Amino acid sequence: NAGVIQTPRHKVTGKGQEATLWCEPISGHSAVFWYRQTIVQGLEFLTYFRNQAPIDDSGMPKERFSAQMPNQSHSTLKIQSTQPQDSAVYLCASSFPNERLFFGHGTKLSVL
């Protein structure tokens, strides 16, 4: 079991460019979560999927951010027209219901 896999580990984009972050959850886990982590804001919930269906995206900025889970083996977080304030570590996690979240190592996004 390789755990939750996130790619890339680091991504550098220019302001206004698009960034797509990938997550491969642990096989068999029914929920996938996306969080954003910064020094200032801490760990912010963005969105989660249950059995591939979007359940709660209350933490997603309404513009420019979107997440998808086209199949049970991966999820993507897309940020359009990236801004410097989007710079953060984006964490993906997966779990069974009522169980601990297993986190990936994150993707560090730097927007120049």
For the bound state, the minimum distance from the C-beta of residue 60 to another protein, rounded and expressed in Å, comes to 14
Sequence-distant (≥ 6) Cβ neighbours of residue 110 within 8 angstroms = 10, 11, 12, 13, 87
Does 50 engage in binding with another protein (CB under 8 A)? yes
Tell me the backbone φ, ψ of residue 54, rounded to 5 degrees: -70, 130
Does 67 engage in binding with another protein (CB under 8 A)? no
Q: Binding to another protein (CB under 8 A): which residues in 86-105?
A: 91, 93, 95, 97-98, 100-101, 103-105
CB 32 within 8 A of CB 25: yes
Q: Binding to another protein (CB under 8 A): which residues in 8-47?
A: 30-31, 33, 35, 41-43, 45
